[in-house]
Amino acid sequence: MTWRRGPIGGHARIGEAVGQDACDPRAPRLSVFGPGPAAAAGGHAYTGVQAAKHGKGRDDKAQVQFHYDVSNAFYALFLDPEMVYSCAYFRDWEADLATAQIAKLDMSCRKLRLRPGETLLDIGCGWGGLVCHAAQHYGVRAHGVTLSEAQFDFATKKVRRLGLEDSVAIELRDFRDLSGIEFDKIASIGMFEHVGLDNRDGYFRHIRSLLKPRGIYLHHAIARPMKATEKKFRKGSPEFRALVKYIFPGGELDHIGGSTDAMERNGFEIHDTEGWREHYGRTCRLWTERLYANREAAYREAGEAKTKIWLIYLAGCALAFERGTVGIFQTVATKRARGASGLPPTREDLYA
């Protein structure tokens, strides 16, 4: 079957690839992860401990590597040339993925108000897209950290290929191990989803400790709509259990109020929050179409079952963002200090 054309265009015959109407809005939600056509996916489940709290049995490195170390070649089959694995920014809905991802990197740098000579920390730097872009176009000294060995290898080679060794450093380490250093600006783009709700206060507290007074922090994360109570919000759904079993072990989505509350509790002043939900719907739709188009190569690289799991995952994400059952926000905050924040009086320059 063909998934139905959404409000911003695009289509892919994903149902045909996975053997059921997995992308039909009328189909059982994520039933492919249970009994049925994808039952063979059992061998592709995460088998480690799914502990909630950091320091109490939670193995963040193993969980991150389960998701990202499928192989760099696999991700290259659906990502843009810069290997940016987070929401793109479409100045118009007809822009191609590569153009929209460069626009996202540039918008992120502008929101951070980067200046030549400043220091930037990118937490969960992925394949090095932001740190390299910031060093090349804004003249900063960028430091990226990741727990994925595949990403570290790729990003390190990219830095050398671009001749950025003097301005970009990539480390294979947990950012919580960083201490005794402060950065002018810090970005967390598509990383917070891995942290877990029980660890969010510690996350923001440590980020604050690494940020200079009045330094800018850019928080870019997927969020779910809040429920009537926190208890109802935290109740796990079948979709969530499938997601942490097969795709994102240890992952949890906050609501935007929970994230901004936690930032304020831990010494940040919130300035701007911008929703990019439709941008991520478009991004995931393009990712799905690209992976489907390259599915035979993906079968050879990662196996047929895992590829089908990912097709369903990406298609499901596209539909979720398009329908509004999940969202994504960029939040600009500064390390709280007395007096002026140092930000300009308006944001006109960001959208000029």
Question: Is the predicted pLDDT of residue 41 greater than 50, yes or no?
Answer: no
What is the set of active-site residues? 317
C-alpha to C-alpha distance for 151 and 71, rounded to whole angstroms: 9
* pLDDT tens figures, 113-153: 999 999 999 999 999 999 999 999 999 999 999 999 999 99
Residue 66 included in any domain? yes
Q: Is 48 left (phi over 0), alpha (psi -120 to 50) or beta?
A: beta
DSSP at 28: P
Residue 255 included in any domain? yes
Residue 5 included in any domain? no
* pLDDT tens figures, 300-349: 999 999 999 999 999 999 999 999 999 999 999 999 999 999 999 999 99
Instruction: Give the pTM.
Output: 0.88
Any idea what the CATH number is for the domain that residue 158 is in?
3.40.50.150
| HSE (side-chain half, CA atoms, 13 Å) at 334 | 17
Contact 250, 50 (CB under 8 A): yes
| Number of domains present in the structure of the chain | 1
DSSP β-ladder status, 327-335 and 211-223: antiparallel
* pLDDT tens figures, 249-270: 888 999 999 999 999 999 999 9
- Domain range spanning residue 49? 14-336
Residue 93: how many CB atoms within 10 A of its CB? 13
DSSP at 253: -
Tell me the backbone φ, ψ of residue 40, rounded to 5 degrees: -65, -10
Which pLDDT score is estimated for 250? 83
Is 235 exposed, middle or buried (CB count within 10 Å of its CB: 0-12, 13-18, 19+)? exposed
Which pLDDT score is estimated for 63? 84
Residue 3 included in any domain? no
Which pLDDT score is estimated for 38? 37
Residue 6 included in any domain? no
Residue 342 included in any domain? no
Tell me the backbone φ, ψ of residue 185, rounded to 5 degrees: -140, 150
C-alpha to C-alpha distance for 4 and 340, rounded to whole angstroms: 50
Residue 348 included in any domain? no
Residue 121 included in any domain? yes
Q: Confidence class of residue 65 from pLDDT cuts 50, 70 and 90?
A: confident
